[in-house]
Amino acid sequence: MSAATQGSTLRVDGLVKRFGGLLVTDHFRLEVRPGELHAIIGPNGAGKTTLINQLSGELAPHAGSIQLDGQELVGTSVQRRARMGIARSYQITSVFHEFTALQNVMLAVQGASGHNFAFWKPVLQDTDLVDPAQALLLQVGLGGQAGTRVSAMAHGARRQLELAMTLALRPRVMLLDEPMAGMSQKESEDMVRLLHTLKGRYGIVLVEHDMDAVFALADRITVMVYGKPIACGTADEIKNDPEVRRAYLGDQVEAV
């Protein structure tokens, strides 16, 4: 590993979350290095989305620490975390289906600059918004759909648009919760190629059930079962871990 990827961008230590008497996050630990795509896998009910909700600030843990580049995030709001560099794709709530892809990304660029999300016609001529929005659409493979209304876009293209709007926040770490869900085979392949282009530029926490995508993308994988990590390693290490195979993977590794 190069010096540029040493250290830790996101560090989670001893995270605990309970719902009544149910321990959903059980002293969870996680490290995401700069530029690393770190996947979190596990069976349904393992607590993966609850973990992502705590990282983004939508849920408060009962104990533990979440640090971004050494700064404590526990106790800070979703909005504050977004400003600090933690971005979750659907944090962008001002997605207008009657607007074009370009207009939606312009809104995200405008919001990231600290301005209101009011969208007025003169803004369409504002190159400070148009140019970066067009660049983001090109980055996610939607350069040819800038003028397409969101309501007319395919499901996979809308997920790519969400990524463009997330990137407008200039994140240090992106939280992606099942980005391939509901996609066709081709759409999933397109998303894998897109995420490959983002690796190394951003820290990425990926929760995903598509094991082909996980093994193709992840630098490291943490396996979560009953709210706790049971293994962390490279794709090959996870595939060959006996405890992981018993607890989760089973025969899924035969197809990869």
pLDDT, one tens digit per residue, over 120-134 is 545 566 788 899 999
- pLDDT reported for residue 126: 75
pLDDT band for 3, please (50, 70, 90 cuts). very low
- pLDDT reported for residue 35: 94
Residue-wise pLDDT tens digits, 41-75:
999 899 999 999 999 999 999 999 999 999 999 99
Residues in Cβ contact with 62 at an 8 Å cutoff, skipping those fewer than 6 apart:
16, 17, 18
Phi/psi region, residue 85 (left: phi>0; alpha: psi -120 to 50; beta: rest), is left
Residue-wise pLDDT tens digits, 85-110:
999 986 544 578 899 999 999 988 98
Residue-wise pLDDT tens digits, 188-203:
999 999 999 999 999 9
Angle between helices 101-112 and 127-139 (to 10 degrees): 110
pLDDT band for 119, please (50, 70, 90 cuts). low
Class of domain 1-92+171-256: alpha beta
The DSSP secondary-structure symbol of 249 reads I
- pLDDT reported for residue 8: 65
Residue-wise pLDDT tens digits, 205-229:
999 999 999 999 999 999 999 999 9
- pLDDT reported for residue 226: 93
Q: How far apart are CA 44 and CA 159, in angstroms?
A: 22
Domain ranges of the chain: 1-92+171-256, 93-168
- pLDDT reported for residue 195: 96
Nearest to 88 by CA among 204, 179, 198, 175: 175
The answer to whether residue 19 scores a pLDDT higher than 50 is yes
- pLDDT reported for residue 96: 82
Which DSSP string corresponds to 44-101? Answer: TTSSHHHHHHHHHTSS--SEEEEEETTEE-TT--HHHHHHHTEEEGGG-----TTSBH
The answer to whether residue 161 scores a pLDDT higher than 70 is yes
CB of 89 closer than 8 Å to CB of 162: yes
Mean pLDDT of 168-181: 92
- pLDDT reported for residue 125: 66
Q: How far apart are CA 78 and CA 205, in angstroms?
A: 16
Phi/psi region, residue 74 (left: phi>0; alpha: psi -120 to 50; beta: rest), is beta
Instruction: Write out the two tokens for 42.
Output: 């596990």
- pLDDT reported for residue 247: 77
- pLDDT reported for residue 70: 93
Helix (H, G, I), strand (E, B) or coil at 35: coil
The DSSP secondary-structure symbol of 236 reads H
